[in-house]
Amino acid sequence: MIVNGISIDDTFAEAFAMRGTRLVITAHTLGWARTAAVSMTGFATSVIGCGCEAGIECELDARDTPDGRPGVAVLLFATSSSELTKQLERRVGQCVLTSPTSAVFSGIASGRPLPLGKTLRYFGDGHQISKVIGGRRYWRVPVMDGEFIAEDTAPMSDAVGGGNFLILASATSQALAAAEAAIEAMRRVSGAIMPFPGGVARSGSKIGSKYKTLIASTNDAFCPTLRASVKSELGPDVGCVLEIVIDGLTEDAVRNSMQAGLRAVCAAGAAGGIRRLSAGNYGGKLGKFHFPLRALLP
């Protein structure tokens, strides 16, 4: 399959079941809401080493937030509910509670509730105040700039993690330009995030390693510098490969996000230096969600 001169591999992205939740972080200004969200979703690129994968889903107008202040929606994903609970408490406690003027609310209507303000309230040392408003419990925790408002719980949702595609380009600048265009398009899709730096990963991994202590190692088949020494997937015209990984609250969110990204890359076409589009999978044996690239294009 060729789209705008780009060869689309007959392969699929293999994704896994995860647990996810959405939070709405608000603050006095959008800038401070963003600061809290960036801090909370930092060091959350991969469950392999970070415990969770997280990112900013979108920015919210003051009219669309519970407390009428500008805000940011963030998504958080983990492989288990217990890990998600742990990451939620740590990240909100260390990065949102501490951020000036912030407040945090759940962004999902229903699901198994995970503790949010329920545990953070103890920071109030007995001076915290519970308020049930409109059927939802909130905690008012006294802090040095006033009160930190946190919803009692945040519902958890079944989620999908690990959707992905690979951009194979002639050169670094062309791969970067295509990846940036893809990310810009994908950020307009709700319910999904791209957890890697800037949404893009250059260190795609394969399962296992020659070193017994490592559970993952470099995806040598897609490393241009190893073209001559391993069973490479790269032809002589490919000089740079970048990967975009997607986590979403639903299978559709991941599919729509992938589709938006793939279409944005294809719009650049072969003239933009893009040679192929591929995806990572494990033969379909590990993840129950499969996203064939050719079904998502044109």
Q: Does 90 bind other proteins (CB under 8 A)?
A: no
Strands 205-207 and 216-218: antiparallel
Angstrom distance (rounded) from CA 168 to CA 57: 26
Residue 142 Cβ vs other proteins, minimum distance, rounded to whole Å: 11
**Residue 120 C-beta: closest distance to other proteins, Å:** 15
Q: How far apart are CA 195 and CA 45, in angstroms?
A: 5
Q: How far is the CB of 134 from other proteins (least distance, A)?
A: 4
Q: Which is nearer to other proteins, 141 or 169 (CB)?
A: 141
With binding defined as CB under 8 A, does residue 142 bind other proteins? no
- The H-assigned helical ranges of the chain are 30-40, 47-50, 81-91, 117-120, 172-186, 251-268, 293-296
Query: Given the complex with other proteins, which of 14 and 151 has the nearer CB atom?
Result: 151
- Identify which of residues 66 and 204 has a Cβ nearer to other proteins in the complex: 66
The C-alpha atoms of residue 158 and residue 160 are separated, in whole angstroms, by 7
Closer by beta carbon to other proteins, 19 or else 140: 140
* Residue 68 in the binding site for other proteins (CB under 8 A): yes
Of 55, 66, 162, 199, the residue at the interface with other proteins (CB under 8 A) is 66
Instruction: Provide the CB-side half-sphere exposure for 32 (13 A, CA).
Output: 15
> d(Cα 250, Cα 114) in Å, to the nearest integer?
18
Binding of other proteins by 149 (CB under 8 A) = yes
Q: Is 4 exposed, middle or buried (0-12, 13-18, 19+ CB in 10 A)?
A: middle
Compose the 111-140 pattern: x for residues touching other proteins by CB under 8 A, - for all others. Answer: ---------------xx-xxxxxx---x-x
- By the criterion CB under 8 A, which residues form the site for other proteins? 66-69, 103, 126-127, 129-134, 138, 140, 146-147, 149
